[in-house]
A and B are shown apart, each in its own frame.
Chain A
Amino acid sequence: MRRWTTLAVAASVSMLATSAFAADVPPKEVAFGDDGVTASLTGTPGDPKHGAEVFKSRKLGNCLACHANEEMSGELFHGTVGPALDGVADRYDEGYLRAIVVNAKAIFTEETVMPGFYSLDLGADVAEEFQGKTILSAQDVEDVVAYLETLKE
């Protein structure tokens, strides 16, 4: 996977880059290393409480559309398109969890149906309102990763 090395180089450059939120790593410059994406995208620690909202909300992550999650058994209708996420933090370190959420295609295969939530590697004919935009903001990603970190068995 070419991407892993080229992006690692891009990473150091990104520290100098400026964007809307000066501290955010832009989507194209996220560094994928052997341990996933180890650096925070924002420098602000993730808030697991808001992360849980991102996870549930149909407008934000809508992770429940595809993943069951015991911890949210109060919510109706958990999908089965992806694996259940119970105990996911026992299976993956933070860097991998962040990498999966940022761009699942870089971690699994190009075939995965899981969207890249902080990626600009989008499908054809993106609707105007979503063009050039990531599904989640950098801080939403940090928050949802912080929430995933709480899913231990």
Chain B
Amino acid sequence: MMKSGLLAAAAVLALTAGVSADPVDEQLVIDGQEMITRAKAPEGHPFDEVLSGWLYREAETRKLEEDSFDNPGMLSVEEGEEIWNTVEGTAGKSCASCHDDAADTMAGIAANYPKWDPDAKRPINIELQINKCREENMGAEPYAFDKSGQKELTAYIKHQSLGDPVSVDLSQGEMQQWWERGKDVYYTRTGQLNLSCASCHEQNNGNYIRADHLSQGQVNGFPTYRLKTGLTSLHNRFRGCVRDTRAEIPKAFSDDLMALETYVTWRGTGLSVETPSVRQ
């Protein structure tokens, strides 16, 4: 076969390839509250519409998220609440000592993270803000990645924004530059398999990679409850996706991953915070 013939054949096949299974057309309602799982994409976004990962999951998995009594992730949120009220560190304070009832003081807060931190001169997420308060305000050790209740406390704080639309303020500090850097990370092909985030979540969302229905890779449900592994932090998920390309696994909260979190959070602008979402 001649090369030109081959390319023509490939072009035809590209059109018929990927019998894509559409995400479901359903409404996510959690305890009577409607969630935004489809939103018009912000300007400059590669898609017209941004979609929650919930729409790509199986019926049983979707159902678990609809009722907080069924959602296994809610146990972790309760653990987070206990930590919120536990005194720790040399200052003899708990989170509640300063922030009182999280239902009031933390309502809507996490929907606007990552935020610019003028002290650290970089974007910080909820995990890093917790560590900041532990070190500066409680006289306690910062949590190590994924340890000692970091995921649970983060889930508790994010849950106080349940339903609120995600929105990052790129006008603060150098957020725009970090967004650019995150975009570079997103489109950089890594590892022996030579794939980028976009290879799977942009070029192929809606397709199956083995058993997995590829979503847009949105972050609005994190920390998420995964049926296989339990409560899972965002940076753990990032690290897993990068590892699967057979690349060096980046460090949690490293500059690259904070830039990536900033960029990917922006890619989900307008979606409701679903923490703790339920995923496979």
A residues lining the B interface (CB < 8 Å): 34-35, 62, 64-66, 76-83, 91-93, 96, 107-108, 111, 113, 115-116, 121-128, 130, 133, 135
> Given A65-B209, A124-B190: A81 and B18 within 8 A (CB)?
yes
Whether B19 pairs with A80 at a CB distance below 8 angstroms is yes
**B205-237 contacts to A (CB < 8 Å):** 207-211, 214
Counting from the closest, the 3 A-B pairs by CB-CB distance are: A123-B194, A83-B17, A77-B211
Q: Which of A66, A76, A93 contacts B211 (CB 8 A)?
A: A76
Q: Which residues of B contact A (CB under 8 A)?
A: 1-3, 6, 9-10, 13-14, 16-21, 188-196, 199-200, 203-204, 207-211, 214, 243, 245-249
B18 touching A122, Cβ below 8 Å:
no
The smallest C-beta distance from A20 to any residue of chain B, in angstroms, reads 18
Cβ contacts A to B, 6 pairs, < 8 Å: A64-B210, A96-B1, A113-B199, A123-B190, A123-B196, A135-B192
When chains A and B are docked, how far (Å) is the Cα of A133 from the Cα of B246?
Answer: 11
| Contact yes or no, A123 B191, CB < 8 A | yes
Hey, which chain A residues are within 8 Å of B248, CB to CB?
Answer: 125-128
What residues of chain A lie closer than 8 Å to B196, measured between beta carbons?
Answer: 123
Interchain nearest-CB distance for B205 vs A (Å): 11
Where chain A touches its partner, the secondary structure class is: loop
Complex: A54 Cα to B5 Cα, angstroms? 28
Tell which of B13, B189, B210 touches A65, judged by Cβ atoms closer than 8 Å.
Answer: B210
A77 to B203, CA, bound (A): 20
* Partner among A66, A92, A96, A133 whose Cβ is within 8 Å of the Cβ of B209: A66
Choose from B3, B19, B21, B193 the contact partner of A123 (Cβ within 8 Å): B193
A77 x B210 contact (CB < 8 A): yes
- A81 partner, pick from B188, B207, B243, beta carbons under 8 A: B207
Query: Most B CB atoms within 10 A — which of A107, A116, A125?
Result: A125
List 12 additional contacts besides A79-B208, A113-B203; criterion CB under 8 Å. A62-B210, A79-B207, A80-B207, A83-B13, A83-B17, A107-B6, A108-B10, A113-B204, A126-B248, A127-B191, A127-B192, A130-B246
For A82, give the chain B residue with the smallest CB separation. Answer: B17
A76 to B212, CA, bound (A): 12
Q: Which of A65, A108, A123, A124 has the most CB of B within 10 A?
A: A123
Nearest neighbor of A83 in chain B, beta-carbon distance: B17
Instruction: Provide the bound-state CA to CA distance between A129 and B17, in Å.
Output: 33
In the bound complex, CA of A83 to CA of B207 (Å): 11
In the bound complex, residues from chain A placing their C-beta under 8 Å from that of B14 are 83
Q: Which residues from chain B contact A83 at a C-beta distance below 8 Å?
A: 13-14, 16-18
- B193 with A80: CB separation less than 8 A: no
Q: Smallest CB-CB separation from A133: which chain B residue?
A: B192
- Set of chain A residues within 8 Å of B3, measured between Cβ atoms: 34
Q: Among B2, B10, B21, B192, which residue has the most Cβ atoms of chain A within 10 A?
A: B192
The answer to whether B208 and A80 touch across the interface, beta carbons within 8 angstroms, is: yes
User: How far does the alpha carbon of A93 sit from the alpha carbon of B6 in the complex, in Å?
Assistant: 10
For B192, the chain A residues whose CB sits under 8 A away are 115, 122-123, 126-127, 130, 133, 135
Bound together, the chains give a CA A96 to CA B13 distance in angstroms of: 15
Contacting pair A113 B17 (CB below 8 A): no
A81 near B208 with CB under 8 A, answer: yes
Contacts of B10 in A (CB 8 A): 107-108
For A96, what are the chain B residues with a Cβ–Cβ distance below 8 Å?
1, 6
Q: Which of B9, B195, B210 makes the CB contact (< 8 A) with A115?
A: B195
Q: Determine the chain B residues whose CB is within 8 A of the CB of A108 once the complex forms.
A: 10
